[in-house]
Amino acid sequence: MTKKIGVLTGGGDCPGLNAVIRAVVKTAMIKYGYEVVGFRDGYRGLVLDDYLEFKPGDVSGILDKGGTILGTSNRDNPFKFKVEENGNTVYKDMSDRVIENVKKHEIDCMVLIGGDGTLTSARDFSNKGLNVVGVPKTIDNDLSATDTTFGFMTAVETATDAIDKLHSTAESHHRVMILEVMGRYAGWIALEAGIAGGADVILIPEIPYDINKVAQKVIERKNQGKSFSIVVVAEGAKSLDGEMIVSKVVKDSPDPIRLGGIGNAVAERIEKLTGIETRVTVLGHLQRGGRPVPFDRILSTRYGVAAVEMVHEGKYGRMVSLQGNHITSVPLEAAVGKLKTVAPEGELVKIAKSIGLSFGD
């Protein structure tokens, strides 16, 4: 019996999204003869019925491309959707319209690709009776129900490459170089890139830092004849007596807090305490863009294929998950609501400390 699958990408963009779309379309069409409908710009396309009907050639040549050919949005919660009425902005529950649009297209199941926000809505739609399958995506690697999210390893690669480049200029000018990376509540990018790039200090949200201990590490290196230091700081890092630094608040966003500025705050204090010139590089959205590394291309493909297999087997209301090196699935209820954060006493932190890295604690 021919089925029709709907697919969308929600939340922030991420390397590997196109690889998932490609795997979903190819598996559905080649293996099972299913039809695939893509909705543009995340849940917005599902609310407004903005769609395209995939043809096999539509996914040719996109495996290595960053971003998403469907577009995405992290502002359009279908359960609290922004609309204009009589010149006023109001928020409405448009979930029933979403279900109507899915029925209109005779879609058997929606494959929803995204992070915590997208998958929370996926769970809510599942509770309303819509057939859904989730695919975990976030460069922060902070979804608790899967070992790894696609896009994370590419972000780590980008951050590591930046650290490598900062080393040479830091050493040449005898400076402290600070690299600010993404990671609001989870410091996985900072931790893994910091270890891989040979940083001297790593500051993450899970371990509040003492700026005096950070400065002490820099001075110790100088006394050992090492005239430069590399500090990697996650955007959500905070001092023992401080809070996360908020750069702005976006009022019409489901997630209004925008972090930024921690790198400059740390740099100012380090320079004052050590007398060593300190510079900051904010990596920002470079971490989201570019070609996915081979690991993410393969993981994305595995996730996309598994999602279609779940549709074929009628395993709805679940999210594809990587456990060890095995692809399985978990209920959407277990996939959201709890972030996977760095354990302060975990293996990677202990390894980093064993080779002399400081976390400012």
Counted residue by residue, the chain has a size of: 361
Q: Are 237 and 203 in contact (CB under 8 A)?
A: yes
| Strand partners for 35 | 4
Q: One of 41, 140, 200, 296 is an active-site residue; which one?
A: 140
* DSSP β-ladder status, 51-53 and 176-181: unpaired
* DSSP β-ladder status, 4-9 and 201-203: unpaired
Quickly count: other Cβ atoms within 10 Å of residue 89's Cβ. 10
Q: Are 341 and 185 in contact (CB under 8 A)?
A: yes
Provide the 3-class DSSP secondary structure of residue 217.
helix
* Rounded CA Rg of the chain: 22
Catalytic annotation on 140? yes
Phi and psi (nearest 5°) for 330? -135, 155
Ramachandran region, residue 67 (left: φ > 0; alpha: ψ -120 to 50; beta: rest): left
Q: Which of 94, 99, 71, 96 is nearest to 81 (CA)?
A: 94
Q: Are 262 and 232 in contact (CB under 8 A)?
A: no
Q: Are 39 and 1 in contact (CB under 8 A)?
A: no
Identity of residue 37: V
Instruction: State the number of CA atoms in the 13 A half-sphere of 313 facing the CB.
Output: 11
DSSP 94-110: -HHHHHHHHHHTT-SEE
Q: Which residues are catalytic?
A: 140
